[in-house]
Structures are given as structure tokens and as C-alpha cells.
């Protein structure tokens, strides 16, 4: 079933929004100084206020778009809709991000838009290099990251020899599907759909944060997934540890409630228990897994990367002394992921 708009109250205090926006701005290549200048002008989240979150980010985006800086404008629109479009100004900013990215794409070569008719709701993706002789690489962000944030990587990934598709987690951006314990089934669907246009038998997944959980669950059921690269992915304890849950940022809790379309935190907690991956499922994964863990992660408990280390046959975990997503070490994270992406993925298990 498709996810209908599910407005909820403002996710977390404004200070929390600013903290996580800095991480997402840096991941998009925005300078810390420029981000600070925008954030300093924001003092509320009232939709009609000229100093509100969306109004300030959108004004800067509109200015950049008018100057022809389309990709920078798109990055600012994605922050105007941050963390998700729960009010009308954010919904308009989300649409502006997609439209502006489309205008930027028209200036590039080889980037195409895919609109796939999934039974739970249509799936929009950006793609490049689709060719039956190229191994498939699927890219996906977490519970906040829209596909336009990652799609600028498409030309580089195409040059590396991949047929690359950037998609969104259910409930995020243009993906109107509901986020459920069965959302991992979206990945076998993608591989089936893309099989005529890429080598899906040697699929790699660059799935960050919560999408990394989908990648792990799908790999346990689909041997075409040969490699998973992820940063700060939940596995089990995040979904089941009640004490850890009390420490989570309110933004994370509210965003998950919106994506799952649950009525309140009690219903959300009950549903999240079904997301947990147990050792039996994890032992069915034949793919190679490369995982960046943050030693001071405030979202993912240390028990989750520890479980992966113990249960997976082919896993390497790089720990960085930082908070969730290792925002203070973007170069280190990118180099480590790129290095592991260049190597050959795990060989498929023999038939039978």
C-alpha cells in the first residue's frame, strides 16, 4: 500500500534539526561556513515566517537557481524539506529539489530517470551506465536522505564501470511506499526489473544508515547481492533495546514514525521489533559486507556492528571515533568505501 502524507508535529527541537542538517549539508558537499550562514538566520519553524527553516533555505536555493547554479540549488532545496515534508512549504521544497535536479541532469550526458511500477507504489530512480555487460550498483540513503543527494555521484560511478541506480528508502522523497519489516523485498524487485539492463548477478549495494539494514536482510534471501557497503546501519539491538531507545534523538523517532505511518511511539516500537535481524538470518548472507561504525554513534548501538562481526562470514568493520555517520571524517569514509568498491565482490555461492 502506498504511504499517504502523514503530518506529525515538529520532529525534535530546532537545535536538533540544525545539528543533523550540518551532517547532511556536509555530505552534499556544502561548506561549513555557508551552512552556518544559513542556519544563523533561522530562529523558528513557523511556515509563514520569513525566518523559518524552510523559508530561509528555500530563499537561498531560489537565489542559486536564478544564477544557474542548479546542483547547489538542489542541495539547498533538499535541506529546505529536511528532515521530511511534513508541511506544505516542505512539500513544495521537495518537489523543487526533484525539478531542479532534472534541469541539472539535462546539462549532463547519460543520466536517465526511471519510473518503475512497483505494486506498493511507483518507484522513481536516477540511473546511468545501464548495460547488460556492466555489474549493477544500487545506491540508497537512510531515513532522511533523498536520492537527489547521491545522484551527482552517478557520472563517477559510471566511469568506474558500474550500471548505477540511485533509489530511496520507502517513505523517503518520491518513494511513497510505507516502511515496513518487508521493505527489503524492494531490492529483489529492483534486481528483477533491471535484469535486462545490467548484470544483476554481481550486484553491489552502497546503502547508508537504515537502508543498510534493508541490504543485509535482502542479501540473506537473494544471492545476486554480492557486496554491501554501509555506514552506521542498524541490525538488531536498535530495534529491540528499550533502554537504548530512550537515548535516541527525537528527530530519529519522529521520522521513523512518519515513514512507518504508525500512530504513536508505542505502535512504532511494537512494529520495529519485527525489523530485527537474528544470527540465523545473518548467517545466510554470502555477500561481502564492509561497514563503517562510529565509536560514539548516538543512533546505532555498539551491539549491532558487534553482532555483524560475529555472525557474518565475510565482514570488515572500520571504526571511527565520531558520532553517527562520522561527519567529522567525510574523506576517510569516502576513501574507505571507494577502495572497497573497486575490489571484486564476493563470489556467488555454488548452485545447489
Helix-helix angle 250-260:265-272, to 10 degrees: 80
- Say if residue 83 is preceded by a cis peptide, omega within 30 of 0: yes
pLDDT-derived band at 16, boundaries 50, 70, 90: confident
| Cβ atoms of 218 and 281 closer than 8 Å | no
pLDDT-derived band at 12, boundaries 50, 70, 90: low
* pLDDT attached to residue 347: 57
d(CA 114, CA 140): 15
Radius of gyration from C-alpha coordinates of the chain? 19
The 10s digit of each residue's pLDDT in 133-157 is: 999 999 999 999 999 998 888 999 9
* β partners of residue 167: 140
* pLDDT attached to residue 45: 87
Sign of CA dihedral 4, 239, 204, 223: negative
| Cβ atoms of 222 and 187 closer than 8 Å | yes
The 10s digit of each residue's pLDDT in 197-228 is: 999 999 999 999 999 999 999 999 999 999 99
Hey, what's the cell of 320?
A: 571511527
In sequence order, which residues have a C-beta less than 8 Å from that of residue 238 and are 6 or more positions away?
A: 244, 299, 300, 301, 304
d(CA 249, CA 13): 10
Query: Mean per-residue pLDDT for 13-38?
Result: 86
Hey, what's the cell of 287?
A: 555477500
At residue 232, does pLDDT exceed 60? Answer: yes
* pLDDT attached to residue 346: 59
Q: What is the pTM of this model?
A: 0.92
- Quote the percentage of the chain above a pLDDT of 70: 94
Architecture of domain 111-342: 3-Layer(aba) Sandwich (3.40)
Residue with cell 577502495: 339
Q: Average pLDDT of the chain?
A: 91
Sequence spans of domains, the chain: 14-105, 111-342
| Cβ atoms of 107 and 152 closer than 8 Å | no
The 10s digit of each residue's pLDDT in 92-102 is: 999 999 999 99
At residue 3, does pLDDT exceed 60? Answer: no
* pLDDT attached to residue 9: 45
d(CA 287, CA 77): 36
At residue 11, does pLDDT exceed 60? Answer: no
pLDDT-derived band at 189, boundaries 50, 70, 90: very high
Question: Which letter does DSSP use for residue 319 in this model?
Answer: E
Query: Mean per-residue pLDDT for 316-326?
Result: 94
At residue 345, does pLDDT exceed 90? Answer: no
* pLDDT attached to residue 15: 85
* pLDDT attached to residue 254: 93
Phi/psi of residue 4, nearest 5 degrees: -80, 155
HSE-up of 247 (CA within 13 Å, CB side)? 12
Residue 203: closest CA among 345, 339, 58: 345
Least confident of 19-23, 75-79, 180-184: 19-23
* pLDDT attached to residue 319: 97
pLDDT-derived band at 2, boundaries 50, 70, 90: very low
Can you say how many angstroms the Cα of residue 348 is from the centroid of all Cα atoms in its chain? 26
d(CA 98, CA 94): 7
225-231/288-294 β-pairing: parallel
Least confident of 12-16, 51-55, 305-309, 340-344: 12-16
At residue 4, does pLDDT exceed 50? Answer: no
Amino acid at each position: 500500500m502506498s504511504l499517504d502524507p502523514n503530518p506529525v508535529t515538529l520532529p525534535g527541537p530546532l537545535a536538533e534539526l540544525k545539528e543533523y542538517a550540518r551532517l547532511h549539508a556536509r555530505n552534499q558537499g556544502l561548506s561549513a561556513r555557508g551552512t552556518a550562514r544559513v542556519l544563523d538566520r533561522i530562529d523558528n519553524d513557523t511556515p509563514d515566517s520569513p525566518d523559518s527553516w524552510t523559508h530561509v533555505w528555500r530563499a537561498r536555493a531560489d537565489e542559486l537557481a536564478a544564477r544557474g547554479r542548479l546542483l547547489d540549488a538542489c542541495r539547498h532545496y533538499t535541506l529546505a524539506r529536511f528532515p521530511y515534508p511534513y508541511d506544505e512549504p516542505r512539500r513544495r521544497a521537495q518537489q523543487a529539489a526533484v525539478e531542479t535536479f532534472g534541469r541539472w541532469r539535462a546539462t549532463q550526458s547519460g543520466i536517465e530517470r526511471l519510473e518503475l511500477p512497483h505494486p506498493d507504489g511507483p518507484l522513481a530512480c536516477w540511473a546511468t551506465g545501464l548495460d547488460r555487460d556492466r555489474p549493477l550498483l544500487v545506491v540508497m540513503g537512510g531515513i532522511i536522505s533523498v536520492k537527489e543527494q547521491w545522484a551527482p555521484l552517478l557520472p563517477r560511478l559510471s566511469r568506474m564501470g558500474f550500471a548505477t541506480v540511485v533509489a530511496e528508502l520507502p517513505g523517503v522523497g518520491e518513494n511513497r511506499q510505507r516502511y515496513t519489516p518487508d521493505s527489503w523485498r524492494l531490492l529483489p524487485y529492483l534486481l528483477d526489473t533491471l535484469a535486462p539492463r545490467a548484470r544483476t548477478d554481481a550486484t553491489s549495494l552502497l546503502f547508508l544508515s537504515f537502508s543498510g539494514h534493508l541490504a543485509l536482510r535482502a542479501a540473506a534471501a537473494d544471492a545476486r547481492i554480492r557486496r554491501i557497503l554501509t555506514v552506521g546501519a542498524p541490525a538488531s539491538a536498535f530495534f529491540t533495546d528499550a533502554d537504548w531507545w530512550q537515548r535516541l534523538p527525537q528527530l530519529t523517532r519522529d521520522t521513523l514514525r512518519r515513514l512507518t505511518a504508525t500512530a504513536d511511539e508505542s505502535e512504532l516500537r511494537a512494529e520495529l521489533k519485527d525489523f530485527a535481524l537474528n544470527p540465523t538470518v545473518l548467517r545466510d548472507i554470502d555477500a561481502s559486507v564492509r561497514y563503517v561504525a562510529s565509536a560514539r554513534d548516538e543512533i546505532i548501538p555498539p551491539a549491532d556492528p558487534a553482532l555483524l562481526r560475529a555472525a557474518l562470514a565475510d565482514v570488515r568493520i572500520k571504526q571511527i571515533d565520531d558520532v553517527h555517520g562520522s561527519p567529522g571524517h567525510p574523506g576517510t569514509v569516502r576513501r574507505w568505501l571507494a577502495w572497497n568498491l573497486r575490489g571484486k565482490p564476493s563470489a556467488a555461492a555454488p548452485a545447489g
